[in-house]
């Protein structure tokens, strides 16, 4: 079965993914099973998407029920699940308005368009400059790609949007030096995900926020990977004592179905008028019905404190493992720096072969387990990781 799937994949799918030699068939909670029958413990959550694990029963019921009630309607009509989700996000967050899209890239496209419109309306036609960080990853559509300064992703697709400049993360003077009277927005991931699990410091983020306030620059926080409980609070930004002007969400919000959300705070509450922006599928009833379950589950009183406890436990155990140099990230977004001579892809490969799915982020070993993973499942995964690292250490 696997061989057939691999052959047909290679024959019929565009060659833009470097897949592991595993074909997954079923999933339940933190486990999934391949067509070969091999069972895997999943520390990837579909790259931070399946925040409540595979086939979370209340989510499955909600989307199935909604599919049997009404599915796609287009955004020409009101639908209850979408409106409820927007209200919950606004109530919880203090944002004023929500735009729903289908992915993180699209959520960032909406933020980018809003920033340009804001700059033009406040500072004049030329005020379309945006500052982003080196090692950022904001997506692969042309706008979001233009804010993603990584040659491997951009080289074949230039020219990109103009007016976007990049500065080294955690260097505040360098950022200030890039600000001009035409700067309309600064966009940040508080923990750079794809760029290598790099943490921004509290003082840096706070200083940027203050500067944005002083200079009427929008602060856009890309929480596509860090949002929806991943870092131990619903938004990572809650841990930095700032209030952004725009937040983008995707991945974990849908619990496995495609969604993106751009949250607009007070300054941008009326930024888009009819026709300024839109999407056919965004915030559809089925996806929104599932996202409502995800939201309710994650914001239930004991849920996030448990995520924080699990994070503390995992980090404590990982720090004791051989070859571990340092840890980054927050909550259950964990980056592990290994001794320099270790190829992190080798650690992932060996973990796969022992039944544990993990990720890389540049040169770090990256873990994004489901937020509702149990202590026993965590221990099972940690045991495999320890074995992988012990073996690698022995081999020198
Ligand atoms: N922003 C961040 C921080 C991400 O990590 C990603 C995807 O990994 C994106 C944006 C793009 O999201 P999508 O792949 O859903 O378009």
pLDDT at 396 over 90: no
Q: 51 C-alpha vs ligand 1 centroid, how far in Å?
A: 15
Instruction: Name the DSSP class of 29.
Output: B
Strand ordering across the sheet containing 334-338: 324-328, 334-338, 364-367, 359-361
| Helices first, then strands: H and E counts in the chain | 13, 17
Closest CA to 349 of 20, 47, 18, 16: 20
pLDDT at 221 over 90: yes
Biggest CA pair distance of the chain: 63
The sign one gets for the Cα dihedral 343, 344, 348, 351 is: positive
Best residue among 224, 244, 256, 279 to mutate for probing ligand 1, ranked by most atoms within 8 Å of CB: 224
Q: What is the pLDDT of residues 74-90, one digit of tens each?
A: 999 999 999 999 999 99
What pLDDT score was predicted for residue 300? 98
What pLDDT score was predicted for residue 78? 98
What pLDDT score was predicted for residue 105? 98
Instruction: Name the DSSP class of 213.
Output: H
How sure is the predictor about 2, in pLDDT bands with cuts at 50, 70 and 90? Answer: very high
Q: Is the CB of 252 under 6 A from ligand 1?
A: no
CA 32, 335, 224 angle in degrees (round to 5)? 75
Residues 6+ apart with CB under 8 A from 201: 170
The atom number, within ligand 1, closest to the CA of 189 reads 3
The sign one gets for the Cα dihedral 332, 308, 81, 88 is: negative
pLDDT at 233 over 90: yes
Question: Would you say how long the chain is, in residues?
Answer: 396
Q: What is the pLDDT of residues 346-371, one digit of tens each?
A: 999 999 999 999 999 999 999 999 99
Based on the number of CB atoms within 10 Å of its own CB, is 80 exposed (0-12), middle (13-18) or buried (19 or more)?
Answer: middle
Task: Find the mean pLDDT for residues 308-333.
Answer: 98
pLDDT at 116 over 90: yes
Task: Find the mean pLDDT for residues 212-241.
Answer: 98
Q: Are 235 and 93 in contact (CB under 8 A)?
A: yes
Task: Find the mean pLDDT for residues 184-197.
Answer: 98
What pLDDT score was predicted for residue 253? 98
What angle do helix axes 375-395 and 344-353 make, rounded to 10 degrees? 120
Q: Is the CB of 250 under 6 A from ligand 1?
A: yes
Q: What is the pLDDT of residues 262-292, one digit of tens each?
A: 999 999 999 999 999 999 999 999 999 999 9
Ramachandran quadrant class, 257 (left: phi over 0; alpha: psi -120 to 50; beta: rest): beta
Residues 6+ apart with CB under 8 A from 161: 112, 142, 143, 146
Instruction: Name the DSSP class of 339.
Output: P
Q: Report the C-alpha dihedral over residues 278, 266, 131, 250, rounded to 10 degrees.
A: -50
Best residue among 104, 141, 236, 281 to mutate for probing ligand 1, ranked by most atoms within 8 Å of CB: 104
């Amino acid at each position: 079965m696997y061989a057939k799937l691999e052959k047909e994949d290679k024959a019929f799918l565009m060659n833009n993914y470097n897949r592991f030699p595993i074909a997954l068939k079923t999933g339940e909670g933190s486990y999934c099973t391949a067509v070969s029958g091999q069972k895997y413990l999943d520390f990837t959550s579909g790259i931070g998407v399946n925040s409540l694990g595979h086939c979370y029963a209340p989510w499955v019921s909600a989307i199935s029920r909604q599919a049997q009630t009404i599915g796609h309607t287009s955004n020409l009509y009101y639908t209850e699940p979408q409106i409820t989700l927007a209200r919950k996000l606004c109530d919880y967050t203090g944002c004023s308005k929500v735009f729903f899209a289908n992915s993180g890239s699209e959520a960032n496209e909406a933020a980018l368009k809003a920033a340009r419109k804001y700059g033009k309306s406040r500072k004049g036609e030329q005020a379309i400059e945006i500052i982003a960080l080196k090692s950022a990853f904001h997506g692969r559509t042309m706008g979001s790609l233009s804010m993603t300064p990584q040659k491997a992703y951009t080289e074949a697709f230039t020219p990109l949007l103009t007016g976007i400049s990049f500065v080294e993360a955690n260097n505040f003077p360098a950022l200030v030096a890039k600000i001009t009277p035409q700067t309309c927005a600064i966009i940040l991931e508080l923990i750079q995900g794809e760029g290598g699990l790099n943490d921004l410091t509290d003082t840096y983020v706070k200083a940027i926020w203050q500067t944005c306030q002083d200079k009427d620059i929008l602060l856009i926080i890309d929480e596509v990977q860090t949002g929806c409980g991943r870092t131990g609070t619903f938004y990572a930004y809650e841990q930095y004592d700032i209030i952004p002007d725009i937040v983008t969400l995707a991945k974990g919000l849908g619990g496995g179905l495609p969604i993106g959300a751009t949250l607009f705070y007070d300054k941008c509450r009326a930024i888009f008028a009819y026709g300024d922006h839109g999407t056919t599928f965004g915030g559809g009833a089925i996806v929104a019905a599932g996202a409502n379950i995800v939201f309710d589950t994650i914001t239930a009183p004991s849920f996030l404190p448990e995520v924080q406890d699990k994070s503390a436990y995992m980090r404590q155990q990982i720090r004791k493992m051989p070859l571990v140099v340092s840890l980054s990230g927050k909550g259950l977004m964990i980056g592990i720096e290994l001794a320099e001579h270790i190829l992190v892809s080798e650690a992932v490969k060996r973990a796969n072969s022992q039944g544990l799915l993990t990720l890389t982020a540049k040169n770090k070993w990256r873990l994004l387990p489901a937020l509702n993973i149990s202590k026993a499942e965590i221990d099972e995964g940690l045991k495999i990781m320890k074995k992988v690292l012990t073996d690698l250490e022995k081999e020198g």
